[in-house]
Amino acid sequence: MEMSRKFDNHVLATYKRLPLAPVRGEGARLWDDSGRSYLDFCMGIAVCSLGHCHPRVTSAIKQQAETLVHCSNLYQPAIQAELAEEINLHHVCLPGKNFFSNSGAEANDGLIKSARRFGHRRPMADGSPRTEMLTFQQSFHGRTLGAMSATGQKKIQEEFDPMLLGFRYLPFNDLTALETAIRPETVAIMLEPIQGEGGVHIATHAFLLEIARLCKKHDLLLFFDEVQAGFGRCGDSMAWRMIAPEIEPDGISWAKGMGGGVPIGAFWLSDRSIDDHGTALSSIMNHGSHGSTYGGNPLVCAASLTVLREIRESNLGAHALAMEARIRQTIEAWKLPHIREVRGKGLLLGIALNAEFIPTQEGSTPSMTMVHHLLTKGLLVPAAGADAIRLLPPLNVTAEEVDEALSILLDTLTNLA
Ligand SMILES: *Cc1c(COP(=O)(O)O)cnc(C)c1O
């Protein structure tokens, strides 16, 4: 293919790309350069929450592109404040402040910086700053130096050491390990309420409650990385509320689905008071402490505001839960030995495979083997770790599209060579 030669010659080979050159998308469908169409349950990795080229988003982008694309954060573009208000009033529903970035990794870097600053404001007994953040094994927080250092996966960090100082990775959902984990220098705990890239693993209610309790007890910040799970994908607008709605986090990060395809991320800090003088946590990130030239420019904010309003007004979180039930019921009824379990919530679902039933070539994994087979049959899905594939359809996917995808999956599993 002429196309892949150009990639080989001119683009860094950081991705092992699948043999597909997308040219056009509409709703849950994607077309390649030969005119073949695919059912897209990858959606740019949970990014296009409303499907490809949703008319409301396309028209918001067009209109904003004709009005004002970019102006920098030296000024006060109204649409950024409107987006921040939409997030606070209708999605987080807690008092706090937002900072807009261009990606999830950058959003997490913002949380890491906030934790470090908090560690200076609330130091150890000897006056030295607290600098250690606890994160979890199999987590994924992104690829910048900060986010990579927070990520509890060796393969992400390989040959990029030394990592940033001040991260320790605990086993996920392990209450016993939490008990002894807090040290004098610990300042924050960050986790995905539902781990995505690491294989789709949900934090238990007891685990989240214990983390929240320890954070209160030891004056630690509690951060949720909702980059993949947030804004309706798991049912509630915020994924942690599907597990433990009683928890009020100190910080949250987002990206992926919030922009429907435009590059935007954000982190949020609570307005809660951190001392006896009523100092708001959000105020520790003051003038000059952080910045981004592009972050939250009018173009991406117009798209994101439209996406979040559509998710809310069409109640797509509830629809995601209905589609989850349909998917689970169908797969359970198959009683196929190839499938070990279905994990996740809403439309962030992982189908865990039984490796012995998936004939896999040397050097590949059961999950990548399935990704290739499904692509050949016209269904796009991403892997999640070595043994699971993910289903990440748009939040407005129809029951017919779900049924079509599941019939491709069934057909593929029952006809494996
Ligand atoms: C994708 C992802 C990130 C990184 O986001 P980028 O936009 O790729 O930088 C961080 N955290 C989680 C949970 C993710 O799924």
Q: Which residues contact 54 (CB under 8 A, 6 or more apart)?
A: 27, 48, 260, 307, 310, 396
pLDDT of res. 257: 98
Q: List the beta bridge partners of residue 349.
A: 344, 391
Decide if pLDDT at 2 tops 90.
Answer: no
CA of 137 to the centre of ligand 1 (A): 15
On whether the CB atoms of residues 145 and 112 are closer than 8 A, the answer is no
pLDDT tens per residue across span 164-219? 999 999 999 999 999 899 999 999 999 999 999 999 999 999 999 999 999 999 99
The C-alpha atoms of residue 396 and residue 383 are separated, in whole angstroms, by 22
Q: Report CA-CA distances (Å) from 67 to 62, 71, 79, 267, 299.
A: 9, 11, 12, 27, 9
pLDDT tens per residue across span 8-46? 999 999 999 999 999 999 999 999 999 999 999 999 999
CA of 256 to the centre of ligand 1 (A): 7
Pocket of ligand 1 (CB under 6 A): 103-105, 108, 140-142, 192, 196-197, 225, 227-228, 255-256, 265
CA of 253 to the centre of ligand 1 (A): 9
Token representation of residue 217? 């007890």
Averaged confidence pLDDT in the chain: 97
pLDDT of res. 216: 98
Look up the pTM and report it: 0.98
Average pLDDT, stretch 239-262?
Answer: 98
pLDDT tens per residue across span 64-119? 999 999 999 999 999 999 999 999 999 999 999 999 999 999 999 999 999 999 99
Q: Which has the closest alpha carbon to 265: 289, 238, 292, 237?
A: 292
Give the burial class of 158: count Cβ atoms within 10 A of its Cβ; 0-12 exposed, 13-18 middle, 19 or more buried.
exposed
**Could you tell me whether strands 379-380 and 251-254 are parallel, antiparallel, or unpaired per DSSP bridges?**
unpaired
On whether the CB atoms of residues 329 and 402 are closer than 8 A, the answer is no
Handedness of CA 254, 255, 256, 261 (dihedral sign): positive
The C-alpha atoms of residue 349 and residue 391 are separated, in whole angstroms, by 5
Token representation of residue 356? 């012995």
Q: Indicate the domain borders of the chain.
A: 2-54+316-414, 58-313
**CATH architecture observed for domain 58-313:** 3-Layer(aba) Sandwich (3.40)
SS3 content of the chain, % helix, strand, coil (to 5): 40, 20, 40
- Best residue among 191, 192, 227, 348 to mutate for probing ligand 1's pocket (most ligand atoms within 8 Å of CB) is 227
pLDDT of res. 1: 61
For the CA of 143, the closest atom of ligand 1 is 9
On whether the CB atoms of residues 294 and 102 are closer than 8 A, the answer is yes
Decide if pLDDT at 410 tops 80.
Answer: yes
Q: Which has the closest alpha carbon to 194: 245, 148, 229?
A: 229
- Which CATH code for domain 2-54+316-414? 3.90.1150.10
Whether 2-54+316-414 and 58-313 share one fold: the answer is no
Average pLDDT, stretch 287-296?
Answer: 98
The C-alpha atoms of residue 378 and residue 416 are separated, in whole angstroms, by 16
pLDDT tens per residue across span 56-70? 999 999 999 999 999
For the CA of 147, the closest atom of ligand 1 is 10
Task: Report the share of the chain in percent with pLDDT over 90.
Answer: 98
Q: Is 114 helix (H, G, I), strand (E, B) or coil?
A: helix
Average pLDDT, stretch 222-237?
Answer: 98
pLDDT of res. 4: 84
Cis omega (within 30 of 0) on the bond before 245? no
pLDDT of res. 3: 73
Q: List the beta bridge partners of residue 353.
A: 339
For the CA of 255, the closest atom of ligand 1 is 7
